[in-house]
Amino acid sequence: MRRERVRDLLAQVADGSLDVDRALATLALDPSESLGYATIDHHRALRQGFPEVVYGAGKTPAQIVGIACRIADRGDGVLVTRIAEDAAAALAAELPGVEHNAVARTAHLRPSTPIAAARARLLVVTAGTSDLPVAEEAAVTADAMGCATDRLTDVGVAGLHRLLARREMLDEAGVIIVVAGMDGALASVVGGLARVPVIAVPTSVGYGAAFQGIAPLLTMLNSCAAGVTVVNIDNGFGAAMAAARILHS
Amino acid sequence: MRRERVRDLLAQVADGSLDVDRALATLALDPSESLGYATIDHHRALRQGFPEVVYGAGKTPAQIVGIACRIADRGDGVLVTRIAEDAAAALAAELPGVEHNAVARTAHLRPSTPIAAARARLLVVTAGTSDLPVAEEAAVTADAMGCATDRLTDVGVAGLHRLLARREMLDEAGVIIVVAGMDGALASVVGGLARVPVIAVPTSVGYGAAFQGIAPLLTMLNSCAAGVTVVNIDNGFGAAMAAARILHS
Amino acid sequence: MRRERVRDLLAQVADGSLDVDRALATLALDPSESLGYATIDHHRALRQGFPEVVYGAGKTPAQIVGIACRIADRGDGVLVTRIAEDAAAALAAELPGVEHNAVARTAHLRPSTPIAAARARLLVVTAGTSDLPVAEEAAVTADAMGCATDRLTDVGVAGLHRLLARREMLDEAGVIIVVAGMDGALASVVGGLARVPVIAVPTSVGYGAAFQGIAPLLTMLNSCAAGVTVVNIDNGFGAAMAAARILHS
Amino acid sequence: MRRERVRDLLAQVADGSLDVDRALATLALDPSESLGYATIDHHRALRQGFPEVVYGAGKTPAQIVGIACRIADRGDGVLVTRIAEDAAAALAAELPGVEHNAVARTAHLRPSTPIAAARARLLVVTAGTSDLPVAEEAAVTADAMGCATDRLTDVGVAGLHRLLARREMLDEAGVIIVVAGMDGALASVVGGLARVPVIAVPTSVGYGAAFQGIAPLLTMLNSCAAGVTVVNIDNGFGAAMAAARILHS
Amino acid sequence: MRRERVRDLLAQVADGSLDVDRALATLALDPSESLGYATIDHHRALRQGFPEVVYGAGKTPAQIVGIACRIADRGDGVLVTRIAEDAAAALAAELPGVEHNAVARTAHLRPSTPIAAARARLLVVTAGTSDLPVAEEAAVTADAMGCATDRLTDVGVAGLHRLLARREMLDEAGVIIVVAGMDGALASVVGGLARVPVIAVPTSVGYGAAFQGIAPLLTMLNSCAAGVTVVNIDNGFGAAMAAARILHS
Amino acid sequence: MRRERVRDLLAQVADGSLDVDRALATLALDPSESLGYATIDHHRALRQGFPEVVYGAGKTPAQIVGIACRIADRGDGVLVTRIAEDAAAALAAELPGVEHNAVARTAHLRPSTPIAAARARLLVVTAGTSDLPVAEEAAVTADAMGCATDRLTDVGVAGLHRLLARREMLDEAGVIIVVAGMDGALASVVGGLARVPVIAVPTSVGYGAAFQGIAPLLTMLNSCAAGVTVVNIDNGFGAAMAAARILHS
Amino acid sequence: MRRERVRDLLAQVADGSLDVDRALATLALDPSESLGYATIDHHRALRQGFPEVVYGAGKTPAQIVGIACRIADRGDGVLVTRIAEDAAAALAAELPGVEHNAVARTAHLRPSTPIAAARARLLVVTAGTSDLPVAEEAAVTADAMGCATDRLTDVGVAGLHRLLARREMLDEAGVIIVVAGMDGALASVVGGLARVPVIAVPTSVGYGAAFQGIAPLLTMLNSCAAGVTVVNIDNGFGAAMAAARILHS
Amino acid sequence: MRRERVRDLLAQVADGSLDVDRALATLALDPSESLGYATIDHHRALRQGFPEVVYGAGKTPAQIVGIACRIADRGDGVLVTRIAEDAAAALAAELPGVEHNAVARTAHLRPSTPIAAARARLLVVTAGTSDLPVAEEAAVTADAMGCATDRLTDVGVAGLHRLLARREMLDEAGVIIVVAGMDGALASVVGGLARVPVIAVPTSVGYGAAFQGIAPLLTMLNSCAAGVTVVNIDNGFGAAMAAARILHS
């Protein structure tokens, strides 16, 4: 249960629109709930400001639907990442308001009480067209966390003027996520131009010695631009969560 | 042939329910038996307390059925791990009592003489829902080895209170198996809380820099909690066999 | 030249304490300056809010002194990381105000105009005593960037209550840097407890399968706590620079 | 503070040999104690049956002496592993009863109240003479944990009869630790012969494709003998701690 | 063209059964022949005693048929390894005498003049049933090179007595090929027992930290039994070729 | 827009065949153009002498068609590499003159103004038949860049005389590309024989310890023949682009 | 013996300044010469245009002196790379004209007949000051091969304007060598800006996940700028030899 | 005890020069002997035709002397590999006849009864001068095993004619050992030219992407010349032992 929702409940009690017993029942729910195959951490929203996100890979559609419904029952929004087509269909059948983004492989149900808006905008920069699914996962996650997102697409360093021509976008963002595969060099260039926090996401785009993303991962970890941080390969979700931690602080 | 079964045979001879010649014939069977494509180690049960377990991967259904029937012919139980659906069906057709667990990818035929019960209970702890197939392989194997198993599911360290709330389960177990992918950090946390032997199983759950289980494998090998031991990635079977060695000693 | 210093100059011109020609001369200095063996990026402070930091490894004492003096000549502060004892001594002889921290392997000369203070405090958490040099590099760097730092030392997950007992420190920080070697599990635990940005620094502490820091690096990249970001092995400097980007935004 | 020592205190109170106030003072000591550079986990002995062991690598002699003295002050025994010659000398000067084992690189101070004896003996088997330092670290650690140890040295599989000739030692042990570098094959052979728990320690002995212990580590993780568990490369300490968990359960 | 065949031709000329012009035409064929997509090395048989073997992977059925027919046209035998089902069918349609072994993934056409017999027998030992395809590739290749082969199957070190019971087979072989995946320990044990050349073939059998054969490859390269040599993972063909070099010398 | 085409435009203006306004309109097009999912670098041809090449992997057919049509609209030629069958069909439907090479996985539309011819010929040497797709990608790319190509196929070092017999081809080439998988040794041999620039392309041909091309990549990076350069695994395109840089200089 | 020197000899014979017998004696020298510990390839200069270069690492000073003197005896120039201080001193004592460059770790004796000058200049660009030794090795080697060299130092992408300000240098070079460690991103940026051949040299500068140069090596192999080629880590020599092949063609 | 020596003893008994009791005493010695830190396998000579060889690395001089003296006491020859200078000196002081080869890092004491001569000669081929220590270790070992050795030095593939000029040496050898670092390509070339068994030894010569011998190791494992076998990096000893197995069979 998110802080905003607890505050709402208390406000409703205060103005008489919710009676005390029903408010109590809602607040008294157990912070974690076991489904046998999963133990849902309902307190995560209170503790960290956003509810537990469901990692869809390796879970059956039935498990995903089961977990998502339990979270939705509490009035929290639900975000599922790495969701397969069949699981997304099953989820949509059960929770009608769910938005499925096939490129990002996400399913998102917005919470009844809107999440608080972040203090600045996020910019997601990609090196190439093939990096879009990861960038999209970041954008959907950021949206779910209350962060508005701008995009700057296909501005890899092989054609540097594409980036330099849009340099003002780097100056206006609150946080920048750089998504790049292959040589991953874009993170260093953006890191050297921008003042704000830069989070680099290596992608598994490429072949041969790209080693499914190891090459850009190493590039980014060794960025000569000081203060660039890195998340796991293809982890658009994690980059957006890190951005949300910054933009809500 | 297990020790319990040899003892049974001798008892039957002693009370006259089995004549000497038939007992002799049973005992005189060759300790290893060649099928051309396999050499069955029938003495393993006598030597180590449990019969040879059949590793199903890379074997044809016909080979699995052939080996399993030879072991069953001796009256020993049979456990097949990493068994594919078609092989499991073929085996069930040949050996009716076989229990097939599709999640664990196991097929199990209980022995005529029940295996001796272990001196304490096993606890299998998993970090996430996606780790369940490996945990299930461990539980089925432990059961086949005479060890009763409790489960604590989806208590990864991102929501630490889920584990701390069930801490008494760690104190009551005779051995704990920790199954975790991604960061594998749960093994260190459990290893620091528990007094009893802790066996860590890294899983191939995750993506990118999880490198199909290398990340949690390294985490577990470097556990700062002293005395945690590790088995191969996804090797729920091996962890349970190690637990059985401990719980039968 | 930092923004603060440009503002100072303009203010001095405005109030008549500096004549136009001298102000002009200072501002007209070339944004980059070549020493033959180095090309100093004097505009980095204007562009990114902090001057270029000198990476001492692989440079001779004479090169380090040469570069540092050129930066100091502009009135900016100077920070040298990974500085060897002999280079630190040579630098101290040339620039008397330099503070040498032997544990952190840093040399720091404060700028004439103090750097602006960050909007919140930084917390540096370490898993073990052997991680201190990296933590110290982070603390010195943060100090040079205007960020006040608290420390929480030797609270690795093998003895979890040491961290839980000081949990309020996690709640009060603006950014948390987690420094850990071996299993690196502390980053996931802190990431699961804290709301604020968490930057993880793997260290080369450990042996064998720690592989000079690869083990905690992978652990941290795969953290099951959402939104933890990672920097290079032993890169206390980079973590602090990332924290400074956040704390100055 | 170990359980045995708490029981002693209570017994002394019961029989009047210790007055209540002094007992209280002893028991009221904080469970963790901060030295600035370290946070000692004094409750580990109560929680896990053995006090915190000091990992000497990466710590200065002064830090090691400081930590060890604080632990010794509580009446607990102290074990330091990976201790350098100079630190061992400094420690011996401060704590006279310390036993320094140069081969094992350990320093050990026995507790005033002897630790409880384990329920069975430990056997440490080594493949070659060059594996002795790791085996010795295991033996010293086991001794500190109350486990008596037998040794079987230089019985690698290139001369299999050396092991087969001493096979009865495998049958009599409560736990077996196998220490081997290069091909690490001894773990599989011992694992196939023994009924009891087998803990394998890969060593960095070898050259070239031994890769500082990666080769035997992989061999042991893939052992075809079921139920062999593995610890980090050269981690004699960890293997002995795992054995102690088993032998005290 | 093999030496035996050149000798045959000359003998036929000597006894008048072949006229000089036709013999000349045969001998005058170019030592290498280009097909556009391939350059056949017809002199390999003369130079090395056996004709070029066709590696089927990555070649289209048409390319395989084209190359094989050109070799067959010279009267040499043809061996294709790693051949897919469709290519084997296409080849059998074109060259009727071809023997297809689906387990070994080979297609073999015997030469008109039989190849000379080797001076001793080859023994192929496998650790497990899943290693059979690689062992079979070795056996087919050895047969094509004139070497008679014995087999000892599924005698991995987890049940050592299976190997020890057949130890006389090790003493009678001219060369031993050991095929093993997972821990690869069998190579060291056989290498320690046998006097004759031992060639080890790691297989990709196993999972997790077997890393598609890297684990047994490293084990074998680090064999503590002196004088064991190693070939590529799953390279039954190469092992048999090495054995043929030995057995024909 | 390539330099040749700009020169053409100017010539047409000079001779009156193109009026100034239309020429201006053409020249005034933006150097980069955003399609949302891609930002086309139209100035690359002016800057580097050849237009941006479209990397087809990870792009949808619609994206490929969209990008290619925008480039073609400017009158530049279009080259798409790593194109799948369905995308090639979609592209051919939209741009009729496209040449699809299924072996090379390329689609190529020639520019209206032919590209300038290179100053010498390129020679592409392959070690084996399975390396042909990579060699073909190099040849198609070279053709698109105006370089005429000769081929020397299947001359791996196992049959050295095949190469030595054609040694004059090495002497006549302006640049040599060596394409080889497995041991990659051909690059060193060619590098030792030739005077001209040698560019080595490792391929993923092979199995086991070839590690999808790592083996030949390392061989080539360590070539004992001085001055051999290397491109990514299977990167026939990159090798040809490097050759074009040389042959047009 | 280089072609220029053969031509000189013939010219001297033609104009009578050298008698036929002495010319014959010089030309009749064996193309390779054995010193027991080395076999000198005297024909390399004739074959490839430059004499064999001596790789100093792993050779004793006596061996280096022995080999260098034999090459010098033929009138060819001598270049030794990776030469230690003691070997350089020994060589200078024996061959007085040798130029020792301690930064580049080279020793160079110019040939009596100057080597032909290359058709264009070489530009060596470095990312940081710590990359200078590798750049210097390249410059010395290029000089020995007759190529004049310009330098652009410390222009890494963290401060992009340093490079952009000197962009005309990229346009004027015949070949560009980019030397960079850490993220290696400079190669992609230069590759995207320049038309001419770009050879990238990764260096072992950096720490942690730079992995002694693996990070920049992978970055460069995956460069998104088309047609960048790569040599071994720290291989300034190889890059210059590749440049010489291009600049002499 | 070697077979030759047992035969000698029996012959001496037969001709009366040795009385039965003393012969019996000699023959009755235990097949393995424990020194505490080592268990000597005295039967290895009888079993495999050559006595146990002492691996000197990781053993103290006292341990080496102790083991060597015990072997020498039985009248067998002693070979120590990887022996340090101080251990070699200590050994020479104790066993006067020992031959120390500092380049090969070996110490060798010949047996009283000479070892039987091999049936053919060994040829050791090296790619470069820096490979000599490994080649020398092979030659000393071969000598100790009764194999006469020829050498062909510094004939790497960069100057192929050096090898082709001595091709008759390849035809005359019984076994060929190829020692090469860096690209390791020589093994494939020799493997393609020779008929006899070829054993490849990768060396750690090289730098950067040679990765201490991984590059030539992979090259050799992937040799396109069929039937080349490989031993560990720098393992001249193992290659010679493999050759001895072949040359004595």
Domain boundaries, chain B: 3-22+29-109, 122-248
Report how far Cα D128 is from the mean position of its chain's Cα atoms: 20
Touch between chain E and chain F: 3 or more Cβ pairs under 8 Å = yes
Mean pLDDT of chain E: 91
Rounded Cα distance between B237 and F229, Å, is: 48
Q: How close G159 comes to chain C (CA, Å)?
A: 6
Predicted pLDDT of residue H61: 96
Asked whether residue D193 carries a pLDDT value surpassing 70, the answer given is: yes
Q: Which helix (H) or strand (E) holds B55?
A: strand B54-55
CA distance A165 to chain G (A): 14
G183 and A182 in contact by Cβ < 8 A? no
A183: chain G residues, CB-CB within 8 Å: 184-185, 188, 219-220, 222-224
- E182 and D128: CB-CB below 8 Å? no
Q: Which positions 65-94 of H are in contact with D (Cβ < 8 Å)?
A: 67, 82
Q: Which two tokens stand for residue G151?
A: 């330098």
Quote ipTM for the complex: 0.91
Whether H153 and G36 lie within 8 Å, measured CB to CB: yes
pLDDT higher than 90, residue E27: no
Substitution target from B222, B223, B228, B229 for chain C, most C beta carbons within 10 A? B222
pLDDT confidence band for C61 (50 / 70 / 90): very high
Determine the residue among G136, G154, G211 to mutate to test chain C binding: the one whose Cβ has the most chain C Cβ atoms within 10 Å: G154
| CB proximity E208 to F under 8 Å | no
Interface with chain G: mutation pick from H130, H155, H186, H234, highest number of G CBs within 10 Å: H130
Chain B residues in contact with E166 by the CB 8 A cut-off are: none
Lowest average pLDDT, out of C45-59, E232-246, F180-194, goes to C45-59
Q: Region C125-152: what's the mean pLDDT?
A: 96
Which positions ≥6 away from B164 have C-beta within 8 Å? Answer: none
The alpha carbon of G7 is separated from its chain's Cα centroid by a whole number of angstroms, namely 24
pLDDT in tens, chain G (249 residues): 666 667 777 778 778 888 777 776 676 666 778 888 888 887 777 777 777 899 999 999 999 999 999 999 888 889 999 999 999 999 999 999 999 999 999 999 998 888 889 999 999 999 999 999 999 999 999 999 999 999 999 999 998 888 998 999 999 999 999 999 999 999 999 999 999 999 999 999 999 999 999 999 999 999 999 999 999 999 999 999 999 999 998
Q: What is the side-by-side strand order in the sheet with D54-55? A: D54-55, D78-81, D106-109, D99-101
| Contact (CB, 8 A) for D133 and D181 | no
Mean pLDDT of E89-98: 95
Residue A113, SS3? coil
Q: How many cross-chain Cβ pairs, G to H, lie less than 8 Å apart?
A: 62
CA-to-CA separations, D26 to D17, D32, D49, D50, in angstroms, rounded? 15, 14, 18, 18
Please provide the DSSP assignment of B153-182 as one string.
-S--GGGTHHHHTTHHHHHH-SEEEEEE-T
Backbone phi and psi for residue B223, each to the nearest 5 degrees, phi listed first: -50, 130
The pLDDT mean for chain A works out to 91
User: Which pLDDT does position C28 carry in this prediction?
Assistant: 60
Amino acid (1-letter code) at residue C127? A
Instruction: Tell me if chain H has a CB within 8 Å of the CB of D164.
Output: no
pLDDT > 90 fraction of chain C, expressed in percent and rounded: 70
Tell me whether H116 touches chain G (CB under 8 Å). no
CATH of C122-248, one of 3.20.20.100, 3.40.50.10800, 3.40.50.300, 3.40.50.1970: 3.40.50.1970
Determine contact, residues D200/D229, Cβ cutoff 8 Å. yes
State how far the Cα of E209 lies from the Cα of A115, in Å rounded to an integer: 44
Residue H24 has pLDDT above 70, yes or no: no
Percent of chain A whose pLDDT exceeds 90: 70
- Judging contacts by C-beta atoms under 8 Å, the chain D residues touching residue C158 are 41, 44
Tokens of F74: 């400017």
Q: What is the pLDDT of residues F159-187, one digit of tens each?
A: 888 899 899 999 899 999 999 999 999 99
D144 and chain B in contact, CB less than 8 A: no
Average pLDDT over every residue of D188-210: 96
Q: What percent of chain F has pLDDT over 90?
A: 70
Give the DSSP per-residue string, B170-229: HHH-SEEEEEE-TT-THHHHHHHH-SS-EEEEE---S-GGGGGGHHHHHHHHT-SSTTEE
pLDDT reading at D139 higher than 80: yes
pTM of the model: 0.93
Contact indicator for F138, F177 with CB cutoff of 8 Å: yes
Vertex C19 angle, CA C14 and C21, to 5°: 120
Q: Which F residues 8-47 touch G at CB under 8 Å?
A: 47
- G117-172 confidence digits (pLDDT tens): 999 999 999 999 999 999 999 999 999 999 999 999 999 999 888 899 899 999 99
Contact call for D226 and B53, based on CB within 8 A: yes
Contact B245 D197 (CB under 8 A): yes
State the amino acid at position A213 in one-letter form: G
Per-residue pLDDT in tens (0 to 9) along chain B, 249 residues: 666 767 777 778 778 888 777 776 676 666 778 888 888 887 777 777 777 799 999 999 999 999 999 999 887 889 999 999 999 999 999 999 999 999 999 999 998 888 889 999 999 999 999 999 999 999 999 999 999 999 999 999 998 888 998 999 998 999 999 999 999 999 999 999 999 999 999 999 999 999 999 999 999 999 999 999 999 999 999 999 999 999 998
* Nearest C-alpha in B relative to C180: B224
When pLDDT is averaged across residues E147-172 and rounded to a whole number, the result is: 93
**Contact A216/G at CB under 8 A:** yes
Local structure of A215: helix, strand or coil: helix
Could you give the CA distance from residue G143 to residue G99 in angstroms, rounded to a whole number?
12
Q: Tokens 């070239």, residue?
A: D208
Best F219, F220, F221, F229 member to test H by mutation, with max H CBs in 10 Å, is F219
Range with the poorest average pLDDT among B34-48, B227-241, E2-16, F38-52: E2-16
